[in-house]
Amino acid sequence: MTKLIQNKIVEAIKRYQTIIIHRHQRPDPDAVGSQCGLRDLIKNTFPQKTVLAAGSSPGSLKFLAEMDQVQDEDYADSLVIVTDTANASRIDDDRYNQADHVIKIDHHPSNPDGDYAHLTWEESSYSSCSEMIGELWLNHQDELKMNDAAARLLYAGIVGDTNRFLYNATSPQTMRIAADLMTYEFDHTEINDLMNRIGEKEALLMGYVLNNLKILESGMAYIIINQELLQELGIQDEHTQSIVSLPRRIEGVVTWAIFVQQDNGSYRCRLRSNGPVINHIAAEHDGGGHALASGANAKDQDEIDIMIDKLSKAAESFNKVYK
């Protein structure tokens, strides 16, 4: 089944002269890696085609790749491929639907709002969308020609989503694909260092989180970062990415949440787990995502309290079974 869809994707790539690749808003390394890795793979194989990466600037991830200028006219008779994006509302640049044909390639669990493409390759068993693109290439090496730039991007995407091959979704196949990508010429140590590097202000935020994290008896941990604190530390919402996996290492922590207040007063919530599935909780609060790593939104402190309670109960029932 997977091979059949992969064949269809390669056929579509061959058929279209203009191919525009989209990914999700607020991109992480896997979003940029899968998007621009696929762009460079197609460009390298078909130099005569127009292949563009759409979306806002990747900000602190600019060292990975830059986006292209995409004009409205480019969408006429084009193929759009959306990578790493579970639902339509998260796609960066909604002109994607002006394409002649839309393909979705994603490793998130299926989403009620996720049926936005004509052809969908969706499988949550993959560690990353970059791993999916890597496999697409490996299964079609006669038709798709890898180069150093694309290999570097796909490798970075895999490293990003697996947190350096640490997370549970890392499989033998993940390692095989990463190994094949590493045979190309790029500095993998440099990429790892750049992705792991934090600014001085982020280091201060880390210190704050470790000092102020609330850990409940159940093993649920949380921190609320309001606008005042962001201003005091001189940081923006995007910098809070560096603290999301911090509580994971603390003994006894089962579930945790990072709440970051937005300009409009509401809160962006990252929910994480070392065991119990928590994405249904995210889904109940305007969000969704992976079983153990989800995103949600809370309109006020009351909603935060409800989410803390749910995550705490999830930790409690998990402890009853496993401790």
Identify which of 61, 125, 53, 59 has the alpha carbon closest to the alpha carbon of residue 82: 53
Instruction: State the nearest-atom distance from the C-beta of 182 to Mn ion, in Å.
Output: 20
Report the residue number, 30 or 202, with the smaller CB distance to Mn ion.
Answer: 30
| Binding footprint of Mn ion, residue count (CB under 5 A) | 5
* 220 vs 322: CA distance, rounded Å: 15
Which of positions 216-235 make contact with Mn ion (CB under 5 A)?
A: none
* 310 vs 308: CA distance, rounded Å: 6
Stretch that binds Mn ion, among 128-136, 236-244, 294-302, 311-319 (CB under 5 A): 128-136
Q: Does 92 bind Mn ion (CB under 5 A)?
A: no
| Strand-pair category, 119-122 with 255-261 | unpaired
Instruction: State the nearest-atom distance from the C-beta of 223 to Mn ion, in Å.
Output: 24
Report the residue number, 35 or 128, with the smaller CB distance to Mn ion.
Answer: 128
* Nearest-CB residue for Mn ion: 30
Residue 109 gets which letter from DSSP? Answer: P
* C-beta separation of 41 from 141 below 8 A: no
DSSP string, 244-295: TTGGGGSTT--EEEEEEE-TTS-EEEEEEESSS--HHHHHTTT-EE-SSEEE
Stretch that binds Mn ion, among 85-93, 121-129, 137-145, 198-206 (CB under 5 A): 121-129
Q: Which of 40, 84, 122, 202 binds Mn ion (CB under 5 A)?
A: 84
Q: Which two tokens stand for residue 256?
A: 């945790």
Instruction: State the nearest-atom distance from the C-beta of 81 to Mn ion, in Å.
Output: 15
* 46 vs 245: CA distance, rounded Å: 39
What is the pattern of x (binds Mn ion, CB under 5 A) and - over residues 150-189?
-----------x----------------------------
What is the pattern of x (binds Mn ion, CB under 5 A) and - over residues 243-282?
----------------------------------------
**DSSP reduced 3-state for 218:** coil
* C-beta separation of 227 from 263 below 8 A: yes
Instruction: State the nearest-atom distance from the C-beta of 128 to Mn ion, in Å.
Output: 5
Q: Does 74 bind Mn ion (CB under 5 A)?
A: no
Identify which of 257, 162, 169 has the alpha carbon closest to the alpha carbon of residue 213: 257
Q: Does 30 bind Mn ion (CB under 5 A)?
A: yes
Instruction: State the nearest-atom distance from the C-beta of 129 to Mn ion, in Å.
Output: 5
Using CB under 5 A, list all residues that contact Mn ion: 30, 84, 128-129, 161
